[in-house]
């Protein structure tokens, strides 16, 4: 059964307008009319699931080094907004639980990408699902995705009924169809900036929904929609939005 997705999903919140993967970014996406957002989940050293993308802290916080070596209490001391702009000074790296609280407040759906550090594929998925199982009960507004088939396999074993999506790199592995079948995924998430029409048609033949990342260009968005892409992740929901895509 297909997932009822909006045609546009806010990428890391609304990453063009607020620091990615923060509470502020979730609010910004909701304020701009997004019905769903996409967020990344990683683990601290002491196995607290947090909303964060990179393996290292340096790009989006005032911390340094691998997040996998940072305990949660120490992560709380870091600041994750000033790199984006002074107006967001003081923003924090949220826990998964804190992010879900805001998602529920704002009545949003969510695509959670399991983004494990190397060697923590199972652990990251387990910790994320442990939290989700306690606070999330709307199966139809949750999509769990990952590039890691090990993380998706763990998700399948722990929460078989929740929707899953397989993330593919620009150059997808040859056995992606076999993996998609084994993991029983509902969506295939592709790099829409490099995907060919032929590849999109190949996915359509598997009767799975197609989600494209990260589309910030109106012309490309329209083209992907014509080719059969069901939904798009965008940093700029004011530029690529439901109204734009419904018109084409």
Dump pLDDT digits (tens) for 81-111: 999 999 999 999 999 999 999 999 999 999 9
Asked whether residue 248 carries a pLDDT value surpassing 60, the answer given is no
CATH of the domain at 61: 3.20.20.190
Asked whether residue 135 carries a pLDDT value surpassing 60, the answer given is yes
Tokens read off for 5 = 């997705």
Residue 39 domain-assigned (yes or no): yes
Among the listed residues 130, 165, 201, the one whose alpha carbon sits nearest the alpha carbon of residue 3: 165
pLDDT category, 242, cuts 50, 70, 90?
Answer: confident
When pLDDT is averaged across residues 121-144 and rounded to a whole number, the result is: 97
User: Is 11 considered catalytic here?
Assistant: yes
Q: Which residue range is the domain that position 68 belongs to?
A: 8-246
Q: In the prediction, which pLDDT does 25 show?
A: 98
When pLDDT is averaged across residues 9-38 and rounded to a whole number, the result is: 98
In the set 27, 53, 64, 149, the catalytic residue is 53
Whole-angstrom Cα distance, residue 147 to residue 134? 25
Give residue-wise pLDDT tens across range 213-232. 999 999 999 999 999 999 99
Residue 76 domain-assigned (yes or no): yes
Are 197 and 188 in contact by the 8 Å Cβ rule? The answer is no
Give residue-wise pLDDT tens across range 161-182. 999 999 999 988 899 999 999 9
Are 34 and 242 in contact by the 8 Å Cβ rule? The answer is no
Tell me the backbone φ, ψ of residue 172, rounded to 5 degrees. -70, 150
pLDDT category, 247, cuts 50, 70, 90?
Answer: low
Residue 70 domain-assigned (yes or no): yes
pLDDT category, 191, cuts 50, 70, 90?
Answer: very high
Q: In the prediction, which pLDDT does 244 show?
A: 72
Residue 82 domain-assigned (yes or no): yes
User: Is 149 considered catalytic here?
Assistant: no
Residue 153 domain-assigned (yes or no): yes
In the set 11, 27, 64, 248, the catalytic residue is 11
Residue 3 domain-assigned (yes or no): no
Residue 1 domain-assigned (yes or no): no
Residue 2 domain-assigned (yes or no): no
Asked whether residue 241 carries a pLDDT value surpassing 90, the answer given is no
Number of domains in the chain: 1
Tokens read off for 123 = 């652990």
Give residue-wise pLDDT tens across range 46-60. 999 999 999 999 999
Determine whether 30 is exposed, middle or buried from the number of CB atoms within 10 Å of its CB (0-12, 13-18, 19+). Answer: buried
Q: In the prediction, which pLDDT does 98 show?
A: 98
Give residue-wise pLDDT tens across range 192-209. 999 999 999 999 999 999
Asked whether residue 5 carries a pLDDT value surpassing 70, the answer given is yes
Asked whether residue 2 carries a pLDDT value surpassing 90, the answer given is no
Tokens read off for 201 = 């048609």
């Amino acid at each position: 059964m297909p997932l009822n997705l909006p045609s546009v999903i806010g990428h890391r919140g609304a990453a063009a307008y607020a620091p990615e993967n923060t509470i502020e970014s979730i609010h910004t996406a909701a304020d701009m009319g997004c019905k769903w957002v996409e967020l990344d989940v990683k683990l601290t050293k002491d196995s607290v699931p947090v909303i964060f993308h990179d393996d290292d802290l340096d790009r989006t916080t005032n911390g340094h080094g691998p997040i996998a070596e940072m305990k949660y209490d120490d992560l709380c001391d870091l600041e994750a907004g000033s790199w984006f702009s002074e107006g967001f000074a003081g923003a924090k790296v949220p826990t998964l639980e804190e992010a879900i609280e805001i998602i529920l407040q704002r009545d949003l759906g969510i695509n959670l990408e399991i983004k494990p550090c190397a060697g923590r594929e199972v652990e990251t998925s387990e910790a994320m699902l442990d939290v989700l199982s306690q606070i999330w009960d709307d199966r139809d507004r949750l999509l769990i995705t990952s590039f890691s088939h090990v993380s998706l396999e763990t998700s399948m074993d722990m929460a078989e009924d929740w929707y899953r999506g397989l993330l593919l790199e620009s150059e997808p592995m040859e056995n992606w169809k076999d993996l998609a079948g084994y993991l029983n995924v509902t969506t295939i998430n592709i790099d829409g900036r490099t995907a060919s029409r032929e590849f999109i048609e190949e996915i359509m033949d598997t009767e799975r929904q197609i989600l494209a990342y990260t589309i910030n260009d109106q012309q490309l968005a329209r083209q992907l929609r014509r080719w059969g892409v069901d939904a798009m992740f965008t940093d700029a929901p004011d530029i690529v939005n439901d109204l734009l895509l419904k018109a084409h």
